[in-house]
Amino acid sequence: MIEEDWWTQFIDFIREFKLPPPVEAKSTEAAHIIRRSKGFVLVGDNLYKRFASGILMKCVTLEEGKDILKEIHEGVCGNHAASRTLVGKAYRSGFFWPTAVSDAEDLVRQCPGCQFFGKKIHVLAHNWITIPPSWSFACWSLDMIGPLIVAPGGFNHVLVAVDKFTKWIECKPIVKISSDRVVDFISDIIHRFGFPTLSSQIWVLTSHRSLSGISATILA
C-alpha cells in the first residue's frame, strides 16, 4: 500500500542515508528503497524523479496526482483520453507519483462520460472527399522545419511551401517564429504565383506527422 507521504523515505535516505524506523539495514525492503532512491534528485526541499530523457519530474502527493489526471481527462481542455494517454500527458507535463498508471485506469473506468459515449463511433457519416490538385500553384502545402543548427545571421527555422501539383518548392529561413514572418512568406508566394479565386478559397489547418509547427494547406 503506497501512502500519501510516499516520498519521505527517499528524501530521508538521499539527505541523511536514513531508513524508515521499522526497516532493517540489510533487509530486502531497505535494498528496495536504496535502489529506487537512485532515480530521485533532491532540489532544495523538493523531490524530483529523474526521467529517462534527463528531465526532472516534480513529485506530487497521490491526491494531487489524481487531481492532475482528472483535469487532463475531463478538465477545460480534457478530451476523455484513455489511461495510457493520460499518464503520458501527466509525465510530459513534469509530474510524477508512483500510482499514476493505476489511478488513470481507475479514473477512466469510473468516468460516466466514458461509459456512456466511449463505444460511440466518432467517424463522419460520409467518406472524406478529397480535392485532387489539378492545376499548378493553386494548392500549397505549408510547413515549418526546426529548430535547426543556428546558421550565420541567427537563422534557425525554415518556412517551406510546396506546390501540390508541380512540386515546386519555396523556402525561407527565419530567425524568429512569429505570425508576421509567416504572413510575409505567404504574401510573397501570393504576389508571385497569384491568389486563389476568392469564391472557392479554403484554408485548412492540419497537424504535421513529425515536424514541429503548423502545417497549412491553401486550397483553391
Instruction: Give the residues lining the site for Zn ion (CB under 5 A).
Output: 80, 111, 113-114
Q: Which residue is nearest to Zn ion (CB)?
A: 111
Q: Which residue in the block uniquely carries the three cell numbers 490538385?
A: 133
In this structure, the number of other CB atoms found within 10 A of the CB of residue 73 comes to 23
Residue 95 CB, shortest distance to Zn ion, in Å, is 19
Instruction: Output phi, psi for 41, to 5 deg.
Output: -130, 140
How far, CA to CA in Å, does 4 sit from each of 1, 42, 48, 59, 176? 10, 18, 16, 11, 45
Indicate the residue among 36 and 80 with the shorter CB distance to Zn ion.
80
The least distance separating Zn ion from the CB of residue 77, rounded to whole angstroms, comes to 13
Q: Which is nearer to Zn ion, 12 or 105 (CB)?
A: 105
Q: Do the beta carbons of residue 71 and residue 78 sit within 8 Å? A: yes
Nearest approach, Cβ of residue 80 and Zn ion (Å): 4
Nearest 5 degrees, angle CA 110-CA 90-CA 76? 65
Name the minimum Å distance from CB 177 to Zn ion.
Answer: 34
C-alpha cell at 197: 479565386
Closer CB to Zn ion, 113 or 194, in the complex: 113
For 78, residues 6+ apart whose C-beta sits below 8 A from its C-beta are 71, 72
Closer CB to Zn ion, residue 116 or residue 128?
116
Give min distance, CB of 110 to Zn ion, in A.
Answer: 9
Cβ–Cβ under 8 Å, residues 141 and 214 = no
Please give the grid coordinates belonging to residue 71.
483535469
Cβ distance to Zn ion smaller for residue 111 or 214:
111
